[in-house]
Every structure is written in structure tokens, then in C-alpha cells.
Structure 1
């Protein structure tokens, strides 16, 4: 290095020592401006330079006094320059680290240790540089200095990794596997043995007592329930409202997506486990075996904890995780069936949306699918040709489908199929006698609630001895089960003039009792559903299912909305909230109702919202209408600051430029702690013949004092408007 440059670098090293010492002494009073925060965030980028340079320099320094190197001028000058460069890079790294540590979320003992060991490296490297040419600096001192410097370098790196990845980042996979394998299922606790390991592996590296990003700590139950700066992390019993799951479902490119891009992401199985745990009220002490044997959380948690040695071995590779994620949808879920296993299970939902394409689209993972659930789907014989592609299929559920013996013969090529469920189908004894012997690998078949009698099941079992024929529940009243609630068949809950009420139940012979007056139906006095009820106005239908020998179902509630007039054109005169754009002005008349959880993009597509301005909608009717009411469907999510409108104004007339105020109405505000809900508010007035209608929805200007966001403007979300 040229003497002039070396002199300048040495002066810079002296200045760096003074500056860093000043920063360390007065750190508590340090306020880092925004532009310096950007420089501070370059700390992880720069820190590798001094680590590498100082390691090389200390290695050379350790052997410096060997006879073959002691008189080597090049060795001496090269080492001097390398040590100077390493010390200067260390200074830059320390300064950036001190700036970064002043950002929110960095606290605790680990940060303190990382900070002082990092600064110690710089000071020791500087001292070695200044004393290494003195007369008393001999081999023992050089070796001791090199050893101390490398040791502190290792410690600094360890503490830095603990801040970034968690305190047990290196040994965590080994310890976690040992812990899981060591916990018997009978003793396993849902949170301790399933949920906490997921948090520890994917979340606590940024949310722990030493690094509390967003004021959120995920290391203990109390901190988890407390939440962070953005609010409550978990709303027990309501995954859609829980901020944790909202952030998980955000697109990867979103800044608020968690875990952040570049970190290990939650798998589909882990997301499902957390979702089900929250849905089960996020209990921290409940054992897995306390859940019902058919409970989804218990089934998935048992799979998650299953030791690797108990998992079936397969000769096919695991599917690409991105491919599996892409194939998951609202009506189709694909999840691994065991840890460390490539096997996948597929569940398909929503009978109205089912078609064979949903099966054909799975061709990329056809080798990995060993379980397929098509329960209650309108599966026809032709659809079973698509099922044949899953060459490694072990379990197939076809309960309450429309398959026949002819279609089931298509499954004869599935040489691994072991379990088949055909409950609720129209198959007869003759059908099963003809088809089951062709399914050579089949070990069990369920046929309850079919045309087979108990004697038919006995005959079938006698004829096919190597197969377990499961007759299932006998409707004799001796072992009553609880009916599931009735379902609605109407394709839309919004109608124009009139609409038939269409209810259904998958169990044959069930009576559906319903009410339209707000009362809860009973099995004796409430009207019996007979497919003759016609809806003429907006209202709420409450229904229950009853059958002799069964317990009555839980209550099912269905809201129907009348919208007699649909505008020929609609326009918004003010912008919508950036996050809740939906389909713009078309949102309010597309007959698509939203659901609770609008801050989660997976649920937010039907909500249009405003916060900083009024929602102003102008509708035009080319042919004048007689209008007597205007209603709107909105969401209340008190915990996240989503409130009803403070007021709604309805202006109308026959000219866009000459509208008169014909109604003003309000919606009741929620109270603290109210559950999230969907509501209808409606204003009625004297019938008016109009061609133009302007609706002005005003958000709450000041959220009440009892709320965390008191004094701020509330968010208003509307999915539909109804003109009658």
C-alpha cells in the first residue's frame, strides 16, 4: 500500500475508534434519521468482509514469527495492509450495526452481547495493528492476540445468527425431531408439541425477547395473546379475524406477508394446523387426545407428530411444494399425510363447483396422491376415469355420490387401492357382488346407508372373505347420533322479485323445520319444509334437521336479500380504500356477498371500502323506477376498526344535476368486545319515481374512546346495495 494512502487509512482508523467509542457511550441518546437507517440495514451485507479478512489476517499473524516468514518483507507488508483493511471494514460494520440496533424490535441480552463482542473485535484488531511493530511484541503475544480475535469473531457470529434465526438455530432440527419422537400421543399437548415447534422454527427468530419485531413476542402464551403493535395476533375461535393468519395469507410480494420473503415459509400443513388451533379457541393446555377422534385438528396433529419410522415408505419422490401450493384452491386442499413422507391427500369441496377438471388438473402430482376425498360431490361414472390417473391411490371416499357398478369397474387398474367408502350411494347387493372382486387390493369397503340390508352385508361378507365390509350405523334409535345442519341449495342469496326457498340434507328421511320470524325452530310446532315456500322480501331463515333415532341438528341461519332494481350504469365519485377495491362500482350489484375477514386477501375480493373520504355512488336507470327503500350489506369487525357507516344519505331525481335528499339513516355502532358480524341497514321512504339515485355512505369520523384506535376514522366495508 502506498505510504500516503496508508497514512490516510491509519488516521481514519484512529477517527473510527473515537467515533465508535462515542456511539457506544452515548447510544441511549442516539436518534437515527431515516437516511441513516438505510445505511444501518446494510450491516448484514458488509459484515462478511471483515470476518473473512480478519480470519486470514489472524491466521497469518499466528505464524508471523516463524523463521521462514519473520524476514520476508512481502509477508510483513501484506499482513500489515490486510490487518488495516480488516480493521477499517470492521469499523464500518460496527457503525452500521449500531445504527441498525436503534430500530424498533432489537432488544435483549443477545443484542447486547452481539454489539459488544462486535465492537471488541474492532478494538482488538486496532490495538494489534498499532502494537505489532513494537519491540516487546513477540510470538506468544501474536498467537494469543490471534486466538482471542478469532474466538470473539466466532462468538459475534453466533450471537448475530441467534438474533436473525433464533437462539437454537443450528441444533434445532435435531432437537425438534428427538422431542417429537419422544412424546407419546397420549401425552402430547396441541400447543406445546405441535403449534409451538412451528412458531419456534418459523417465527420466533424475529419475535422473541431479544428481537421483538413489531412489539410482538411469540415465545410464550401470555405474549402471544397480548399481540403486538398492529393489534391482537389471535382471535380465539375466528381464524379469519386473526392477524396472524391474515399476514400468512398475504401475497409473498406484500411487505406485511409473514414470514417475510427470504425466510423459511410455513407449509400448507403448518398453516392448516395453526388455523384449526385458532378455530378451536387457541387453547394452550389441551391435549390432542381430548379432541374427538374425528376432529380435523386431532387427525392432522397426529399425522404431524407421527415418528418417521411409522410412516409408510413409498418409492416415488415428493411433489414440488410450489406446485402443490398452486393447485390448492378454495374448493380443493392438498396436504401431506405424514411428516417426512411424499404422500399427499386431496379433499374436494363445494358440490356446485365440482367437475372432472378439478381432478385432471392434479396430473402433476398424480404419483403422490394416495388419498382422495370426494364425499358428497356429484361424481358420475365418467369422472372415475380421471380418478384412474392416481396410480398410487390407497384410499378413495365416494360417499353420497352418483357412482354405479359400471363406473367402479374403472378402478380395477388401481393396484394399491385398499379402502373404499360408498355410503349413501344407490349401489345394490348385486352391484357390489359384481364389482368388488375386481378390485384385487381392496381391504375394506363402507356401505352404510345404501340399499343393502344387514342380511345383505352379511351375505357380501361371506362371499368376499378377504375384504372387510362395513355396514355402519343402523337407524334403530339405540345409538343416536347428531344430525348435521341443513344446507341451502339456492345458487344466490340475493333475488329480484321472488325466489323459491331451497333447503336440503344429505341424510335420507330427514325433516327440516324452519322459521322466518326470528325464532328458533323446534321439531313439533315449526313449519315443515316442503319445497313450496316462496321468498318475497329480505329476511332470515332459521332451520334445523330432525329424524327419529337421531339427535336434532345445530341451528343453521341463512340470510336472503331482495334487490328488485339493478342500475343500467353505476359510477363512484370518490376513491375506494387502496386495499378494498373489489370490482369498483360494479361490486354493489354483482350478487356476491362477502364474508368476515376482509383484511385477508383470500376473503376480501367482494368488499369495497372507504376510510378517509365518503363512499359516493351514482346509479342511473334508463327506464324510471319506483323506489321506496335503499339497503346495504356491511361488515362489523370492531377489533380491526371496521365499523358501520355513521350515516347514509339517499339522493334521487330524474336528472343527474337535480337530485334531492329523500332519506338519511344510520346503523347502530358496536360495543367493545362485540363479535365480528355481517349486517343489513335499510332506509325506507315514500315511493319516488326516479331515474338517478346517489348514495353517500359516511364513515365514522372518530372511533369511540374505548377502542385502541380512538379518535381515528373508521373503515366502512360494503359488498352489496339493494334498491326496492
Structure 2
């Protein structure tokens, strides 16, 4: 991310005109070749008179582009082999266009040779432009955008391997978190193919080596590290990295980079090995890999037969949503989100699905304690939500038959201490929500003691009010 410092000179200024001038010979040559092809038809033969002038202008502009390209190469920061290939191809375009202009009168008498020469020029221009794009945008600039039909014929860079960790705390900080950011945002300009400022960021060793202006990384001092300082500059600043026009690091990526450098830029530590502030914890939480269906504790490991279509149809007719919990799974999730009228008289409709039903959300429905006995027969249930229902909990002990129950939401109901304590038979219960209920702190403590690892949310949490706040937030956990 180090740019060459330049005090200004005519050579440097001329070199930086190359990206502008290089398009002139391309456009002129394409126009000349197009006129050559059109002039082969009798009605367009008059266009032949413009071809010599176009070829002369193409030759002169190509020579000018080669000169400015040479000046630009003196700024450094480019892979020599790629630069040489592009440079000599550019000279070939200039020489070929000059020869084409000189031999125009001879070739005009042989249309097939004229057309063949034009097609050869187009191919030469295309190849030269490809190498030029590779110099500025990376060696896979063209191939990366190829459609599937063409990509099979082009060499593609190896795809990043999927994370080999299931928990973000086990991620390797540099390999799994930092290097992917550098690969995405920085390596296109700081690699062996394009060596801006003499800096390579393809490995930690190369990063520590630094570039033409010295090291870019100072362990434990992110504000003194060029690799971090440059990403904080204003977009208009010529030293900002990535430069204007290229995607910037996101706030989360910036926070990760700061955290890594502040902790000594370790090469072999995992997330769990170094301290984390609140901001980094939030970033890491968002990076936690999503669990696949077979990793979810609330989905049984064994498979089950498909449910009856008529039983599903009966629930759907009542307004309930019946969906599989995942692809290729017969286990079901039932939600009454749009079925507020669903009540005790309808609860029996769930029983035909008792082998497949594992997630049940009856929030806001009319079911009462009368339905708890039926719910107790759904012995595969792992998640049950009764939030905002008339349930008082008089028969909550019926849920003790649901031996697989891990999640239970009783928020905004009239359940009492005695009802909640009766849940101590549900030994697999991991999460219980009782905010906006009549449950006391003593009962919560008693139940937490009876079931190891149980987390009970009673709600009512408030965020601290800061002097700069203009809005007060009240958080209820559901």
C-alpha cells in the first residue's frame, strides 16, 4: 500500500498519460479495419480513400503510446516479465500498423490478404490489451469475468478453501480472517504480478519485509503501521489505499485489521488466544459460520418418514405455515404467525404430525392450558413458543413428556412460579424465556439450579444512557 513519492517531472507526467493515449491507436485501427471490410462491397468502395490516413494516424498514436508506456514503466511497481510482454506487444502493434500503412497499395489489390491482415491486427490488439489489463488489474482480469461457456478454456485461480472451523473462536487470525481481506482488497496491486511500491502482500513474510519505502507493519502499533494508516485516509487523498475507484475495506474489515495489529500481528494464533474488545466481539459474532442442518442441536440426527399430506393440508387450511426445517429433511416447522384464531378446538390437528414436528410457534394464538396435554404428546418437539397466549401454566407439567425440548418461550403469558418450577423434569431444556410474566427471581434461581446449563431470560434489560444519546432504547428479549 505504499505509493512511490513523486516530485513531478515531464517524463513522469508523460508516462501517466499512457492510459489515456493508449486507446487512440486501438480505436483508430478498429475503425480502419472496419472501413477495409466495408470497402470490399462496391457501394462502399469510396471509404478506401480514408484508410491510408487512418492507418498513418494509428501508427503515430501507437508509437506515442509506446513511448509514454515506457516512461510509465519507469515508475516501477510492475512484474518485469508481464511488463516486457506487454511492452513488446505494443511495439509490435505500432510496427504492424506502420507496415500496414506502407503496404496499403499492394494489399489493396489482394482483398483476401487485406482482410487476413486486418483480422491479425485485431488479434494482436486484443492480446496486447489483455496483458495491459493484467498489469493494472491482475493476471486474471479477463478470465475472471468469462461466462461459464468460456471459462473452462481459461486457467482460473484456485478458489479459497471453505473454512475448516465450525466456531469462530477456533479460526486462525491471520490465515482465516486477515489474509482473505488482503487478498480481496490489496493483493491486486501488491503481488508478484503488480508490484506497486515494491510491496507484496501475498504472505505475512512479504508484508513484514515491506516495500520501497520501508516496513508497512509495526507490531502492536496499528496507528503507526502504513498498512492501516493508508486505509483511513480520505478517498480524495492520493496515498489512500485502496485507491479511489476500488472497493474500500468495510468497517468490520478495518476493525479486524486494527485488532490483529494491536495484538502483535500474530502469525499462528487463533481468535480465542488473544483478548477482544466489544467492537471486535460484535464483528466476530457476525462471522460465526452458519450451522448446517446436521449441526443444529434442535434437529434430530436420525431421519423420519414423510408426514401425511392431508394432515399438512388440514393445518394449512387453518392458516398455519408448515415447512420442512431444511432441504432433504422430513422434520417440520409449524408457525401460527398468520393464524391468530387457532385455539384449543384445533390443537388436535397437530397430532398426526407428532413424529415429524420439532419446531412449533403458537405465538399470539388462542390456545390455553387445555391444549398443554395435547402438546405434551408431541414428544419430538425441540422448540416451542407460546408467547402472548392465554396460557397460565396450570398444566405446564404436561410438557415433561417432551423429553427433547430445548427451547421454550413463555413470554407475555400469565404463567406462575409453580408452573415454571414444574419444568425441572425437562432436563434438556437450554433456553427459557419468561419476560413479562409473574415468575419471580426465586423460582428462576430454583429452576436454574435444577437444570444444568439452562439460560433463563427474564427481560427488562436497559442499555446504558450516554451523554451523547438522543434516543433511549428499551430492550425486551423474546
TM-score scaled to structure 2, two decimals?
Answer: 0.53
Counterpart selection for 2:197 from 189, 199, 214: 214
Deviations 1:380-430 (CA, angstroms, capped at 9, x unpaired): xxxxxxxxxxxxxxxxxxxxxxxxxxxxxxxxxxx9xxxxxxxxxxxxxxx
1:54-88: per-residue Cα shift (whole Å, max 9, x none)?
12322343565x3536xx54221122222222222
Q: 2:185, 2:242 within 8 Å by CA — same for their partners in 1?
A: yes
Cα distance change of structure 1 residues 297 and 437 upon mapping to structure 2, 3 Å threshold: same
2:207 is the alignment partner of 1:224: yes
Kindly provide the CA deviation profile for residues 590-619 of structure 1, in whole angstroms up to 9, marking residues without a partner as x.
xxxxxxxxxxxxxxxxxxxxxxxxxxxxxx
Matches within 5 A, 1:205-354: 205-286=188-269, 300=283, 303-304=286-287, 306=289
In the alignment, what sits opposite 1:108? 80
CA distance in 1, matches of 2:442, 2:143: 57
Residue number among 193, 196, 218 corresponding to 2:179 in the alignment:
196
Alignment: residue pair count: 306
Q: Deviations over 1:269-326 (max 9, x none)?
A: 221222222234323444567778999768745745858999xxxxxxxxxxxxxxxx
Query: Contact (CA 8 Å) 2:411, 2:434: kept in 1 or not?
Result: no
- 1:657-716 Cα shifts (integer Å, max 9, x gaps): xxxxxxxxxxxxxxxxxxxxxxxxxxxxxxxxxxxxxxxxxxxxxxxxxxxxxxxxxxxx
> How far does residue 267 in structure 1 lie from its aligned partner after superposition?
1.6
Structure 1 residues 78, 188: closer, same or farther in 2, change over 3 A? Answer: farther
Shift of the alpha carbon at 1:252?
Answer: 2.6
User: Structure 1: any 5+ residue segments left out of the alignment?
Assistant: 1-31, 311-414, 416-434, 472-724
CA–CA distance in structure 2, aligned partners of residues 232 and 85 of structure 1: 46
Q: Could you tell me how far apart the structure 2 residues matched to 1:57 and 1:444 are?
A: 77
**Would the alpha carbon gap of residues 87 and 308 (structure 1) be closer, same or farther in structure 2, given more than 3 Å must change?**
farther
Is 1:148 matched up with 2:120? yes
Residue 19 (structure 2) aligns with: 44
- Give the Å deviation of 1:130: 1.0
Matched ranges for 1:126-525 at <5 A: 126-134=98-106, 138-170=110-142, 179=159, 182-186=162-166, 189-286=172-269, 300=283, 303-304=286-287, 306=289, 436-437=411-412, 455-458=443-446, 469=456
Conservation of the 8 A alpha-carbon contact between 1:185 and 1:289: no
Q: Which has the higher strand share?
A: 1
Alpha carbons of structure 1 residues 59 and 135: separation in structure 2 relative to 1, 3 Å: closer
Structure with the higher helix share, 1 or 2:
2
Q: CA deviation at 1:129?
A: 1.2
Shift of 1:97: 0.8
Quick one: structure 1 residues 275 and 133, their matched pair in 2 at CA, closer, same or farther if it must change by over 3 Å?
same
Provide the aligned C-alpha RMSD in A.
Answer: 4.4
Higher relative contact order (CA 8 A, sep 6+): 2
Matches of 1:168 and 1:157, distance apart in 2 = 13
Alignment of 1:552-567 (within 5 A): none
CA–CA distance in 2 between the matches of 1:273 and 1:253? 24
* 1:252–1:135 CA distance, 2 compared to 1 (3 A): closer
Call closer, same or farther: CA 1:256–1:292 in 2, change over 3 Å: closer
